Amino acid sequence: MNIIRYPKREDWAKIVERPHLDTSQLNETVASVLADVKKRGDDAVKGYELKFDHVDLAQLAVTEAEMNEAEHLVNANLKAAIQVAHYNIQAFHETQRFKGKKVETQPGVTCWQKSVAIEKVGLYIPGGTAPLFSTVLMLATPAKIAGCSEIVLCTPPNREGKVNPAILVAARIAGVSKIFKAGGVQAIGAMAYGTESVPKVYKIFGPGNQYVMAAKQQVSLHDVAIDMPAGPSEVCVIADENANVEFIAADLLSQAEHGIDSQVFLITTSEQVVLDVQAEVNRQLELLPRKEIAQQALENSRMVLVKDKQEAIDLSNAYAPEHLIIQTSDYEKLAKNVVNAGSVFLGEYACESAGDYASGTNHTLPTHGYATAYSGVNLDSYCRKVTFQHLTEDGIRSIGHAVEMMAEAEQLNAHKNAMTVRIAKVQSKK
């Protein structure tokens, strides 16, 4: 990890930069695959599964028999852990239900909102080196609570044409409607455009590699909504001299092992913490099965020594991390000053992995600095707010003239007339 000591504020913009990848050629490839899926449907998806995932699929849909088989393949202890996580995620997201309230803005003018579920949503779950069955819970559980009528899931199969059984078990527990064997760009295209097998959805959720992210962004231009723009995973830890160094190192490495383009960030007021964390990271790194991946991520990562805790929180807000861990003696005080972060973990025992799996908060979060403008996935992500207004004759009397004046000033005479004819009717009743 790169160590930076007492940087000037004018240098912060450079310090908080993420690694950048050249995606110019990638975008052309993605566009070509998407166009093919749009044109040829299932045949294109199967073709790309053969090309990229090296599996020849007779059909894309996961069968009920495969779902039942998965139940027997997942051991009871893991199934119980999935159930615990699902319960907590459900409990937390249930509290986010919208409660609308009617407001009389003027006599005879009443306005209100209604929350309506997005009818069809698509979930993308990566397979690869780390099949993210936890993400199934994070995405499908709030979708079910929101009332989405169709929850479609795409995930890449292995070379035997099978989906990771833990993904299937989690999908059944969380209430997924339909599951398809499709990964990468072709999966995003299938959900965006619809195929003979895969239904077209209205919004796509879920993480993925740079190809998947590029595909989501491309289809979002014209065809379907997406959860958020996203980059590689990241964590920022704020620590003082009292912090547990072993815990800090473990937290940093838990993110570094995600991928070579991940980034971890330590901000501390203690020189000794910098030295001790560096040593502890090196020690724990040697014990990791994904050592090579984590090592490359650490090369993109930084430890920053700052003069005080206010500067620490200011630098964190400038970084806008996906995950923020505050491991200081006064973490509650510092937490009040958090402005930009996806999800915040307070105290030495709140490890980022708790939020990744089972505390109840959602782990689908804005990365790459997008926490300055985006929220993580929550119940509202699956809903739309429809506004209503009702006007009586008193309402026309209350706001009619104001509407006429504003419409006239904008030179929209038909707008003015729509109110004028109503004013005339109300006046005729006098």
Q: Under a CB-based contact definition with an 8 Å cutoff, are residues 89 and 173 in contact?
A: no
CA-to-CA separations, 147 to 117, 121, 250, 301, in angstroms, rounded:
6, 11, 38, 41
Name the burial class of residue 63, with classes exposed (0-12), middle (13-18) and buried (19+) by CB atoms within 10 angstroms of its CB: exposed
Q: What are the backbone angles phi and psi of residue 193, rounded to the nearest 5°?
A: -105, -25
Paired tokens of 210: 């740079």
Between CA 122 and CA 411 the distance in angstroms is 43
Paired tokens of 154: 């795409």
Tokens 């707008």 locate to: 415
Between CA 250 and CA 280 the distance in angstroms is 9
Pairing of strands 225-226, 203-205: parallel
Q: Identify each DSSP E strand in 6-136 by its residue range.
A: 103-106, 109-117, 120-124
Half-sphere exposure of 408 (CA within 13 A, CB side): 9
Tokens 């993400």 locate to: 135
Annotated catalytic residues are 322-323
Paired tokens of 22: 């050249």
